[in-house]
Amino acid sequence: MRIVGPLYMAFCALLLALPIAVVCGAALNGGRSMFFPPREPTLARFGEFFVSEPVWTQALGNSVIVAVGAASLAVMLAWPLAYLLWSTGSKLSRTLAALGSMPFAVPPIVFGVGLGFFWSFFGGLGALWAGVVSHAVLLMALPMVTITIGLQSIDRAHLDAAATMGATESVTFRTVILPQTIPYTISGFFFVLVLSFNEFIVMFFVSASGYATVTLQIFNSLRNGYTPTMAVAAITFIAVSVLVFSAVARWGDLPRLMGADQSNT
């Protein structure tokens, strides 16, 4: 019986890795078709994706701008919201938090359609900055959760000690609250970064073919069939995800960020 558990976990991991491995393997194909296992293996497709084919290099640039911009903006929106919720716990702050997380909690296609209409009325449809704002709004629920976890982890004694020693509220914020919540803020930033990098459906409606991110470019190319260069994009994205989450795990407490009990080690 003791072997059944690890076997089941290994089976799940295998199944989870299977399509990823296939996509990664397909990136090595020498020809223009996607075969698995790859035929005439080559690394030439990596050069096409990162250097020589403007369609892909431009899409990659757009993806980076949108992801970094959205992650920064999402954190900037989530921070005051989480702070308000933590410091006041008022009905208004709870309502705002609920409304702020609503885009993430409904089918993304509905929010995508709504944002498409929104930007067409307010002049941002097809503009890169509108894509940044759209992703920030869609994903701000994530930093809101991580920052709130960080705020809740602050020891009350630290605040009391600061107050006893005459620290003003702004000094307490700068010297006690902010430093203790930085890892959680960075985690939230990375969560948005990775998810924005891979998000497709909302970007599809707000870009209105004005520009393409990598996932959009792949989707647009699907009509003409898969090419190994698309698979390079997938490898890049997976590599970014693994690097980012490994960093979060290395410098933060990933199980706790995911909701595990602190005492349960």
Considering only residues 171 to 210 of the shown chain, the ones binding another protein according to CB under 8 A are 172-173, 177, 194-195, 197-201, 204-205, 208
Least distance (Å) between residue 8 CB and another protein = 6
DSSP string, 18-48: HHHHHHHHHTT-SSSS--SS-SS--SHHHHI
Cα–Cα separations (whole angstroms), residue 150 to 80, 178, 188, 208: 13, 10, 10, 38
DSSP string, 186-200: HHHHHHHHHHHHH--
Least distance (Å) between residue 161 CB and another protein = 12
Least distance (Å) between residue 231 CB and another protein = 8
> Rounded distance, CA 142 to CA 87, Å?
19
Least distance (Å) between residue 34 CB and another protein = 6
Least distance (Å) between residue 121 CB and another protein = 7
Closer Cβ to another protein, 52 or 169, answer by number: 169
Could you tell me which stretch among 44-52, 54-62, 105-113 binds another protein (CB under 8 A)? 105-113
> Rounded distance, CA 239 to CA 46, Å?
13
Question: By CB under 8 A, how many residues form the interface with another protein?
Answer: 108
Indicate whether 224 belongs to the interface with another protein (CB under 8 A). no
Q: Which x/- pattern, by CB under 8 A, does the window 42-81 give for another protein?
A: -----------------------------------x--xx
> Rounded distance, CA 206 to CA 135, Å?
10
Kindly give, in sequence order, each residue whose CB lies less than 8 Å from that of residue 27, ignoring residues fewer than 6 positions away.
Answer: 38, 45, 46, 228, 229, 231, 232, 234, 235
Identified binder of another protein from the candidate list 42, 48, 60, 226, rule CB under 8 A: 226
